[in-house]
Amino acid sequence: MPAPGAPPATAAPRTVLACGEVRTCLLPAGQALDSRAAAQLLRLRADERVLVSERPNLYGRSPDTLTGVDCPLPSANGARIRAVGTVAARAALTEGRVLQTSAYFTLPASGPDHRRPWGDYLVRPAVVEPLGKLPYDAVAAGLLDGGRHGDLDVGLIAGGLLTRLLRHPLLDQRPPLRSRQTRLRWVALTAPPGEAPALERFTVAEDELRTVRLRVPEDIPAADLAGLCDDLALHDWLLTTLVRVLDGIRLGPAAPGSWPRTSGDGELPPVVGALRPAVDHLLHLWMPRARVSGRLAPLWEALEERPGFTRQWLALVQRVRDQLTLHAIPPVHREVEPAP
Amino acid sequence: MLVFAASDKGGTGRSVTSANLAYQRALTGDHVAYVDFDFGSPTAAAVFDVPSALRGTEERGLHSYLEGEVTEPASIDIWRHTEHPVLRARQNQSGRLVLYPGDAGGGEFATGEEALERCIDLLLRLNSEFDLVMVDLSAGRSYAVDLVLAATAHPQMRHVSYRWLVFHRWTRQHVIAAAGLVHKENGILRSGVDRGHDENTLQGNIRFVRAAVPDPESAMWAQGSPAQAAWMQSCNRALRRLASDQHIGDSVVLGTVPLEPILQWREQLITEEDVLATQIANKETLEALEEIARRLTDDAYWGLL
């Protein structure tokens, strides 16, 4: 044991940056997977068990897989900093319905000037070490903006894992509604000692890309940060998808060939046909903070305040229910001609 | 739904017509992807007027994606990036219209198991995102045709509905060539069966589109002599007989696009503006395109009702 107060012999330089990317999509299967099937889908490694929990909702998470990397880090000022280490990636399935893959790593403030033997990197999973000193502000900005071709791209690792999972024979490739994948990129900078974790920025950058910038105390594990960002990505995807379902409904007579085209709907009015999959597959999934670690849970407050995630969700859900209620009324009483 | 646009020869108006069909469907509110599998001569960017958005996608197009050089192919939101003044003012309630461009320099390439898997990944993803996925295939019995035949025969794609459109011009040689593309020894049907398709199902999913068809009754020919008119009428009758003998008669035709002067000059989208305001395009052309676009998903035209 080291003497009290003395640094341990193998003291790693302190972590100054954590980052990751989350891909979120609807599981392309006609029926949601039950917990056994979820465990089967998420068994990425034979030697480690899948975490499955049923409270407060059905949730499965794969063991972490590691990907070795040795490439330049993206940076906002064009500096080329080579970095070596491993990126962790994992997959999660919520209520057997929403599939997410998430890749992440942390960066220490500095590393040795030359590459070390692989074994040294493998003993510290999900740490990518810069060769030399890390200009962390420029790298944080570079990570959020996405780097040049050839730079370390954690999104590729998450995307590759998602592609692999989507090919799984358990999936019948019959998604019950039309939806799009979203990507959420995040970075977490270290907060000064004594400060509470903070969500500095949440942006909807493009149609499918969101970026999150956090500032958190150094001792919060990167896996917990990835867990928070998975949760943000899941709920952002739910909002995005439900908004699009409602955007797609045409009030009034339907165009032929509109989604969904399954013949099982019989003579359902088109609005009911369009909203039904949302009721069956989406509305029960809203549960912010279900699996966010205690110290990070308060970060949700910022999003609830502005833009108000849950507020928007409740308004959308109410709109779905109002439309369905309206369509329970026979058309002859429902379709009111505007008064002249 | 996936729609594969094929033709035996170049110059049949396949790309320009299928792009117009994609555009018409997007106007009706469908989310539409236009996938440029015309390896070697990608033209979609010109039709949709997105030349500058195309810059920077040269090495991230579908060709590079299928070869495994990039993990996601480039895509271009047409409403946002087009330089076409009418398209820029995206119509209210229209759906998304997204182009997946080919690579600038990509030619045909050898088929492989990995390219097939990536093709299936892509088609499944697009099918879950879009109402209609229009795939423009290189002319003839090309690699692109083989690739999508193999992909749609794959068990993973068994629940994905697909339809084929075979485009041809209204001349003797084009009628024979189009029939050959489907029915001949190494045509689409035979190759499809070899890859595991059921022949009747596949054949039931193929319809023909006659493009650039001169209408003998049209005002365009009113200046001609009576002898010319009689000759055109008899030619038209002979072609109909030929088409029917070749198993591509009226019962398997989804629609006919009249000969349109502006399409002879330039591959472009026909907008309502071109017909109503500037009157450079014929009303009949636009109506034909709207009608074929509607019939794409009307089961009555696909032997299902």
Residue B137: inside a domain: yes
Rounded Cα–Cα distance for residues B290 and B294 (Å): 6
- From chain A, the residues in CB contact with B159 under 8 A are 172-174
Q: What is the interface pTM, i.e. ipTM, of the complex?
A: 0.90
Q: How many CA atoms lie within 13 A of A210 on its CB side?
A: 20
How many domains are there within chain B?
1
pLDDT in tens, B68-82: 988 999 999 999 999
C-alpha A153/C-alpha A149 separation (Å) is 9
3-state secondary structure of A166: helix
- For A182-229, the pLDDT digits (tens) are 999 999 999 998 899 999 999 998 779 999 999 999 999 999 999 999
Q: How many CA atoms lie within 13 A of A182 on its CB side?
A: 28
Q: Say yes or no for a CB contact (<8 Å) between B71 and A156.
A: yes
**pLDDT band with cut points at 50, 70 and 90 for residue B107:** low
Name the CA radius of gyration of chain B, rounded: 19
Task: Measure the CA–CA gap between A33 and A286, rounded to whole angstroms.
Answer: 18
Angstrom CA distances, B189 to B12, B110, B204, stand at: 21, 21, 11
CB-CB neighbors (< 8 A) of B30 in chain A = 255, 257-258
**Nearest to B75, CA basis, from B59, B98, B92:** B98
Q: What Å distances lie between residue A134 and A107, A108, A150, A159, B28, CA to CA?
A: 8, 8, 19, 26, 52
Q: Does B121 contact A167 at a Cβ distance shorter than 8 Å?
A: yes
Asked if the structure places residue B11 within a domain, the reply is yes
* Residue A111 and residue A131 in contact, taking contact as beta carbons nearer than 8 Å: yes
Mutation pick from A173, A178, A246, A258 vs chain B, by most beta carbons of B within 10 Å, is A173
- Distance, CA of B216 to CA of B194 (rounded, Å): 42
| H or E segment to which residue A275 belongs | helix A270-281
Q: Which residues contact A95 (CB under 8 A, 6 or more apart)?
A: A32, A57, A58, A59, A284, A285
3-state helix, strand, coil in chain A (%, to 5): 30, 25, 45
DSSP code of A151? S
Chain B residues with CB under 8 Å of A178 CB are: 31, 128-131
* Contact between chains at A178 and B72 (C-beta distance less than 8 A): no
Which of A173, A180, A207 faces B124 most closely, judged by CB atoms?
A: A173
Residue in chain B closest to A172 (alpha carbons) equals B156
CA atoms within 13 Å, Cβ hemisphere of A88? 24
Q: Count Cβ atoms below 10 Å from residue A312 Cβ, excluding itself.
A: 13
* CA pair distance A18, A276, nearest whole angstrom: 40
Instruction: Report how far residue A185's alpha carbon sits from residue A18's, in angstroms, rounded to the nearest whole number.
Output: 11
pLDDT of amino acid A264 = 45
Average of per-residue pLDDT values in chain B: 91
Residues from chain B that touch A250, judged by Cβ atoms under 8 A, are 29, 93
Interchain CB distance below 8 Å, A166 and B124: yes
Q: Compare CB distances from A159 to B72, B117, B161 and report the shortest one's residue.
A: B72
Give yes or no for residue B62 having a pLDDT over 70.
yes
Q: Give the pLDDT score at B79.
A: 94
Phi, psi angle pair for A246, to nearest 5°:
-70, -35
CB-nearest to B128 from A167, A178, A261 is A178
Q: How far is A22 from chain B (nearest CA, A)?
A: 16
The CA angle A102-A104-A106, to the nearest 5 degrees, is 165
Mean pLDDT of B122-150: 95
Domain region containing B131:
2-214+251-299
What's the whole-number mean pLDDT along residues B188-217? 94
Beta strands in chain A, from DSSP E residues, in sequence order: 15-26, 51-53, 59-61, 65-73, 81-94, 98-108, 110-111, 128-130, 132-133, 182-190, 198-204, 209-216
A270-281 and A222-247 helices, crossing angle to 10°: 170
Give yes or no for a contact between B154 and B23, defined as CB atoms under 8 angstroms apart: no
Question: Per-residue pLDDT for B129 more than 60?
Answer: yes
Q: What is the pLDDT, as a whole number, of residue A5?
A: 43
Tokens of B176: 């024979």
pLDDT in tens, A93-123: 999 999 999 999 999 999 999 999 999 999 9
Residue B284 lies in a domain: yes
Q: Among B3-7, B10-14, B53-57, B147-151, which is the least confidently predicted range?
A: B53-57
User: Does the CA dihedral A110-A112-A114-A119 come out positive or negative?
Assistant: negative
Contact residues, chain B to chain A, C-beta under 8 Å:
1, 28-31, 71-72, 77, 93, 117, 121, 124-125, 128-131, 156-161, 294, 296-298
Spatial separation of the C-alpha atoms in residues B157 and B144, rounded to whole Å: 17
What residue ranges of chain A have pLDDT lower than 70? 1-12, 251-267, 335-340
pLDDT tens for each residue of B74-105: 999 999 999 998 898 888 889 999 999 988 76
Report the pLDDT value the prediction gives residue A200, as an integer from 0 to 100. Answer: 94
pLDDT value at position B54? 75
- Burial class of residue B110, CB neighbours in 10 A (0-12, 13-18, 19+): exposed
The predicted pLDDT at position A207 comes to 78
Could you give the dihedral angle defined by the CA atoms of residues B258, B262, B263 and B268, in that order, rounded to the nearest 10 degrees?
Answer: -120
Size of interface A-B (CB pairs under 8 A): 56
Q: Which residues of chain A neighbour B31 with C-beta distances below 8 Å? A: 178
Chain B residues within 8 A of A173 when measuring between CB atoms? 124, 156-160
Distance from CA of B276 to the nearest CA of A (A): 24
- Whether B243 is in a domain gets the answer no
CATH number of the CATH domain containing B191: 3.40.50.300
> In the beta sheet, which residues pair with residue B76?
B99
Q: Is residue B79 part of a domain?
A: yes
Shortest CB distance from B128 goes to which of A28, A160, A207?
A28
- Please name the member of A159, A172, A259 whose beta carbon is closest to the beta carbon of B71: A159
Whole-number Å distance between alpha carbons of A193 and A196 = 9
* Contact criterion met (CB below 8 Å) for A170 and B120: no
